[in-house]
Chains A and B, each alone.
Chain A
Amino acid sequence: MIAQYFPNGLERYLIGGLLIGAGVALLFLCTGRQGGVSTFFSAAWSWLLRTPFFQQAAFRDTRQWRLIYTLGLMLGGTLYFLLGLPLESSHLPTWKLVVGGLLIGFGARLGGGCTSGHGICGMASLSGGSLLMVCTFLGTAIVTAMSLAALGVAP
């Protein structure tokens, strides 16, 4: 049963999740901030566009720490790579990256968060709204991925 649903074991996922959680916890412990990732993509536009939405204080006042946090996320991946830890290659067709990316960017901002904001911070805050958001995007993603797989549009 475990081997059927977890062909790659449990340990890697549990430890990885704890490391991810430790990052979010460290940010909250040190600075009191909630470490959602997707807001950065709106906040960064405040440097480029002088439009009312992007010039909100919520973006202007947080863009600096969000940029540093974003750089940290990339650095974490680089560190993993430099330590020579196991890494399988990955390749997706370009159209999936473009169409998927646009939907993710627009959807996450319209929905007020992504897997880190709603999924980790929101659920850890016991927010009913975030729980419903997680069910919505997780449910939609499962149906979408299953349908594409059934149609033979495999990765």
Chain B
Amino acid sequence: MIRNARFFDHLATLASGTLFGFGLAWSTMIRPESVLAFLTFQDLGLLLVLGSAVGLNLLIFQALPKIRQRALLGGVFQQRPFSLDKQSLAGGVLFGLGWGICGICPGPALAGLGAGNGDLLIALASIFAGAGMHGLWVDRQNRKAANVI
């Protein structure tokens, strides 16, 4: 029974990711050029992509926890663990700089690689390296703070 529950959990997660990736390909957002065309106001399509994705989930995220206590497979409806501060805003600026340079963000990079754009492997490796540098940097900041006290 428990093994079954895990199987369905993994299956639902894989199906969700697949649908997400397929939608990214359908919307042309897996092409960095399409995203850059939006950022330079040549084609505002990304606004519609984001708008319809958010619109649908606004409905789901707001209504579902009121109708049901738990998710279909028994999990609790999770909240996003996020608190806004100066550091996260700085992160937003760095992310925006990168996004503006290459028109890539993590989801479309994965879906685009799946669709056969091998260049994106370089972008994904760099994103992975950037996330690694972030984690090591946080540890260093914490060590410094501990030494001061």
The docked-state distance in angstroms from the alpha carbon of A87 to that of B53 is: 21
Interface residues on A, range: 35 or more
Contact (Cβ within 8 A) A110 B39: no
CB neighbours (8 Å) of A17 from chain B are: 23, 27, 48-53, 56
Contact (Cβ within 8 A) A24 B99: no
Q: What is the minimal beta-carbon distance from A97 to any residue of chain B, in angstroms?
A: 4
Contact (Cβ within 8 A) A145 B91: no
CB neighbours (8 Å) of A13 from chain B are: 27-28, 45-46, 48-49, 52
Contact (Cβ within 8 A) A38 B106: yes
B interface residue numbers (CB < 8 A to A): 8-10, 12-33, 36, 39-46, 48-58, 60-62, 64, 70-73, 75-84, 87-107, 110-117, 119-120, 122-139, 142
A interface residue numbers (CB < 8 A to B): 5-8, 10, 12-38, 40-42, 44-45, 49, 51-54, 58, 65, 68-81, 85, 87-92, 94, 96-130, 132-133, 136-146, 148-149, 155
**What are 18 residue pairs bridging A and B, where the CB atoms are less than 8 Å apart in the complex?**
A16-B28, A26-B12, A33-B78, A51-B136, A73-B24, A73-B107, A77-B30, A81-B116, A87-B25, A96-B102, A105-B133, A106-B137, A109-B134, A125-B79, A127-B80, A137-B92, A144-B97, A144-B99
